[in-house]
Structure 1
Amino acid sequence: MNEVVTVEQPHDVSRAKRLKAATHAAHEGLDKAIMAGQPFSSRARYGLFLIVQHDFHRDIDALYAHAELDALLPDLDGRRRFGYVRQDLIDLGMEPPQAAGGPVFEKGEAVDIPTALGWLYVAEGSNLGAAFLLKEAFKLGLSETSGARHLAGAPEGRGLHWRTFTSALDTVDLSEAEEARVIAGAQAAFRRVQGLVDKVYGAAP
């Protein structure tokens, strides 16, 4: 008879750090895939990057207006970036793409809070790391007010903006099963973005 071994999450480590460890490989692979697409080699290649961002932020936009999540996380509505991505596309003379299906999270539909926390962790983490991307966008003549609005840092600074989010994330009371769904949500978010990168850049010349 096979023995089932359960590996428990170390609870002396913060939830945000556990999420980082659980998604490290996916995050690293995604970063490599994005840079392999050379998103800052031209405005056209950057436009493809914006399409990836558009579809991802469309998927999660409803979460930023969710009352229960808003009660758990600080300034949630102020953190949404979907509108900025759409304006960035317009700045480049591009039409926001029409998605074939609905977003992952539909407005007004029931949301599993732990799963949603995992998706939001990925979205907020991407903003923390966007400082490098913004510098590359500058080389294309773009800025926080034209073409790269969604990459802009928060007024209080990226670090504090991130720490405020993770501090709140770490204090949400969750069961063991819910903890697992947070991690699964974050992993699903990374898979979604990876799929978008593969689709958009894989079809590009």
Structure 2
Amino acid sequence: MTTIATTTETTTELLPRLRHCTGPLHEDIEALLRLEAPMPIARYGRIVQGFHEFLTLWEMRVRHALPERLRPWFDERQRAPFAARDIAALGLTQDLAMRDAARAAQHRIMLDSPATAIGSLYVLEGSALGGQVLTRQLAGQGLTPDRGAAYFHGYGERTGAMWREFRALAQDTAGGDAASRTAACKAAVQTFKALIETFGALDR
């Protein structure tokens, strides 16, 4: 059983606290997906489908929880369309097991405020950085952003700048008081757990 990191708050900086409270779960999802290991195309396709099914619901919920002024910002960062492109490029049929797992996992995430939206976003925004490493491996298998690797390529060279922008916005939105920071951490933990539940169907 994973032990979730807890800490007495000693800083008003949000991102270090998010990293601390989700550290073990980050390791768990990495061990589950094994993205850096050699990967058959069939397994890769199921991973893309899992993200697509998860994000299709999650992105709608996050958008609703964000304040209206941030919704155009969020619209430019949505990644479900990238996964949909990959599914089409790879000629994949609907994966009912991944769909059902992704839908069931949504109940784990409470998205009822801007702070919880930011905490949940932290998980997926951080995964976009890791995707840049995987893109190089996928290229060796003949997968490119135009042919099956759009999701992990994401916004390519813009990804680092977008992460820095997110960090600043997250602090401004959810780092101003202890209650908001706590809510953001709780949502980040819930989001990791929901992803782990979703991808529990991966090797079945």
TM (normalized to structure 2)? 0.81
More displaced 10-residue stretch of structure 1: 126-135 or 52-61: 52-61
More displaced 10-residue stretch of structure 1: 48-57 or 174-183: 174-183
**Structure 2 CA distance, aligned partners of 1:29 and 1:42?**
21
**Structure 1 CA distance, aligned partners of 2:184 and 2:43?**
33
After superposition, the CA RMSD in angstroms is 2.7
The Cα shift of 1:155 comes to 5.7
Tell whether 2:196 aligns with 1:194.
yes
Q: Which 5+ residue runs of structure 1 have no aligned equivalent?
A: 1-5
- Would the aligned equivalents of 2:32 and 2:199 in 1 still touch at CA under 8 Å? yes
- Which residue identity is paired with 1:33? L
| Greater helix proportion | 2
- Would the aligned equivalents of 1:88 and 1:150 in 2 still touch at CA under 8 Å? yes
Classify the secondary structure of the residue corresponding to 1:75: helix
- Would the aligned equivalents of 2:65 and 2:113 in 1 still touch at CA under 8 Å? no
Q: Which 5+ residue runs of structure 2 have no aligned equivalent?
A: 1-5
Instruction: Count matched residues.
Output: 191
Percent of matched pairs sharing the same residue = 25
Query: Larger C-alpha radius of gyration, 1 or 2?
Result: 1
Instruction: Indicate the residue corresponding to 2:20 in structure 1.
Output: 21
- Would the aligned equivalents of 1:33 and 1:197 in 2 still touch at CA under 8 Å? yes
**Structure 2 CA distance, aligned partners of 1:36 and 1:76?**
26
Task: Give the 3 Å change call, closer, same or farther, for CA 23–37 of structure 1 in structure 2.
Answer: same
Task: Give the 3 Å change call, closer, same or farther, for CA 71–60 of structure 1 in structure 2.
Answer: same
**Structure 1 CA distance, aligned partners of 2:35 and 2:130?**
17
- Which residue identity is paired with 1:83? P
Classify the secondary structure of the residue corresponding to 1:76: helix
The Cα shift of 1:22 comes to 1.0
Instruction: Indicate the residue corresponding to 1:93 in structure 2.
Output: 91
